[in-house]
Structure 1
Amino acid sequence: MTLDDAAVAALSSWVRRRGIGSAVSDVEPLPGGTQNVVVRLRVDGRRVVLRRPPPHPRPNSNRTMQREIAVLQTLAGSSVPHPEFIAGCEDLDVLGVVFYLMEDVDGFNPLTEIAPAYAADPRMRHQVGLNYAADLARLSSTQWRGRPLQQLHRPGSFLARQVPNFLGLLESYRHDRYRPEILDAGRLAGWLDEHRPPDGEPGIMHGDAHLNNVLLRRDVPEVAAFVDWEMCTIGDPLLDLGWILVCWPDDPDPINAGRELAALGGLPTRPELIAAYTDAGGRSTRNLDWYIAMACFKLAIVIEGTYSRFLAGQAHREAGERLHDSAARLIGLGMRVAVGDNPFS
C-alpha cells in the first residue's frame, strides 16, 4: 500500500505545521511486514520512512503505533541499533490513524536480500550473527525507567502472566470452525507454570527478535537497525534470547527466518550466539531451557491466529495451513525441551 493524493496532501500540511519540512514527494511502498504499512518518501529531499496501521486497522492498531513511538523515543541516544525517530502524529484528522516518521536506514533485510559482501565472505555472515546477539544483550540493559517506555511496565510478576495471557489469546481465536484445543498446548502450558523461574530485573524486550526483523549493514557485519517493534514491552529480556534461538535458521528451523542469509551457510551455532550474548553483558542463562520452551509456546499461539482467520475466511489457505503446521511443530519442540531433550542446544 502507498499513500493516495489526499493522504500526501494531508501529510504535507502536517509536516509543514510541525516544522519538519515543506513538501512530501517520491512516495513508494516498502516490502516487509504484513501487520502494518511502511512507506518510503522524501521530505524536502530527505529520505524518511512512514509507518502506519494497515488499511483496515485492528482495534489495537493505534496503540501499537503509540508503542513503537515510545520505543524509538526511549532508544534515542543508546547503542542499540534502531531507526532515528523524527516525529509522530496521534491526531486522527490527518491520516485517520496514528503514524510516525523515522529515518530511512541504509541496510538490507536478510529475509529477501543479501548484500554482495555477505555473499562473498562467510566470515561476514558468521560475525554478523554474533554481533546480532550482542546487540540484543545491549537492548536488555538499556535504561527505560523515566523514559516513554516506562508506561508499558506493569507491576507484579511478568513471567506469571505469560501462560494465562497467551492461553487467553488462543481462546480468543475460537469460532464455529476453529477449536483452540486443536493446537494441544495444554501440556506445555502446565510444564511452564510448574517450572517457572523467579522474575529478574525488568528490561526492554523486542518481543519478536529474529532475522526477518533486522536490517544489516551492507559492507560491515553489523546490525543497522532492529525493526518491527510492535511486540516490544518491559518484561524479561531472556525471552528474547529464547526467541532468537527458536527462530535461528538452523535445524530445527520452525519459521524459516533469514532464509536467504542462512542458505549461504556460515552462520554461528546456537551455543556461539549464547556466548556472544553473555559476553556482551547479557543476563544469566541458568534457566534458559524454560525461556526456550516459553518462546515455542508464545510463538506457536501468535502464528496460530492466522489459521483461525483462514478457517473464518479472513486469510489465505496457504498461509493458514503453513502456519498451523509450524505452530503444532513449535508446541512439539517445546515439549521436547520440557522433557530434557532440547533440540536447540
Structure 2
Amino acid sequence: MIAADLIRGAALVVTGCLVALDQISVWVLAALAFFLGSARVLFDCAATALLPCLVPSERLVTVNGHLTSGQLIGRDLIGQAIGGILYTTARAAPLLTDAATFLLSAAAIHRLPTIRSAIPQLGLAASIRDGLRHLRTDRTIRQLTTASAILNLAYTGQAAILVTFAHTTLHMSPSEYGFALAVGGAGGIAVGLPIGRGAEHRNRTTLLTSVALLGLAQLSIAAAPGPILLAVACLLCSAATALWNIASTALRQTVIPIELLGRTTGITRLLSWGIAPAGALTAGAFASTWGPRTTLVVIGAISLATFTMLAARLPTFPNATQTPKSEPALPARDASTKQPASPCPSRTRSRTL
C-alpha cells in the first residue's frame, strides 16, 4: 500500500513539473493514467485484504461505509472544489497538491501495525490460479461477481448518456445539470455515514435492496421531466451504488478466506470492471438509434433483472457478525495448548506493509 501511494505521488510530481515547464503531451497523460490506475488497483486490493485483520468482523459493514463516505467527501466534494481553486493559481498546483496527499497517505499507513501472515507466499501465477479456483468453486462470490459485472455495465452506460439526456431531452442548462450531479453525489455520503449493525445482520437483504433501488432509480432518471426530479433520481442512484459497494465488499471480506482475499478481489475487479467500457459504447450506440430516454429505461430494466437473478440464486450466507471461513471459531483451550497459525496473526509495530 505504501508502494502504491509512492508510485502515484511520484507520477503526479513528474507530470506536475512537466506541466509547469509546458512540456506536457498526450503520451505523458496516458502514462500518468496508467500509473495512477495500476497503483489504485494494487492499493485497493491490499486495503480490502488488510481491513479484516484490523477490524472486528461485526464492524466490517460500518467501517466500509465510513471509508466510502470519506472517499466521496474527499474526492468528489472537497477535492474537486480545491482542485478548481488551485488550477486558477497555477496549472501544476492541483497535480503537485495531489502528490502531497499521497505522501501523507503513505505516512499514515506507515504507522499501522504490520500484519505478518503465517501463510506461505506464492508466486504471481500460483496466486492467480488460486484466486480463479476459488472464484469458480465459491457460489456466493461467483454470483456476486456476475452481478457486479452486469451492474457496472449498466451504470457506465447510464453515466455515458446522462449528459446527452439532460441537454438534448430535458433541455437543461449546464448549471442545472451540475446541480443534479451535486445533489446525486450526496446520496453515497448519506448512506455511508450512518450505516451500522442493522445492515451487518441483514447483509443479503442489504445487497438485494441496493440492486432493486438502483434499478428503480435508473427508471426514475428516464422518467424525470426536469432538473429537480433528475437530481432526486441521481441521489437515489448514488445511494444505491454506495450501498451495494459497502455491502458487497463486507461480504467478500466475510466469506473469502483471508489468504485468498487480495488475489480474489483483484480477479473480481478485473472481471466486473473490465466489462465497463463496453457498457458506455453499447449505451451510446443504442441512444443514437432509440434515444437516451429509451436507453435509460433498458438500463433500469437490466438492473432489475439482476435483482431477480440475485434473489433467486444468491445463497444464504453468513452475516458479517459471524466468523469468516478462514478464521474458524476455536473452542476454549488451556493456555499451554499451542494455537494453530492464523492467516491474520500477530500485529507487530514494524513498518512494512
TM-score range, shorter chain: under 0.3
More strand per residue: 1 or 2?
A: 1
- Higher relative CO (Cα under 8 Å, sequence separation at least 6) belongs to 2
More helix per residue: 1 or 2?
A: 2
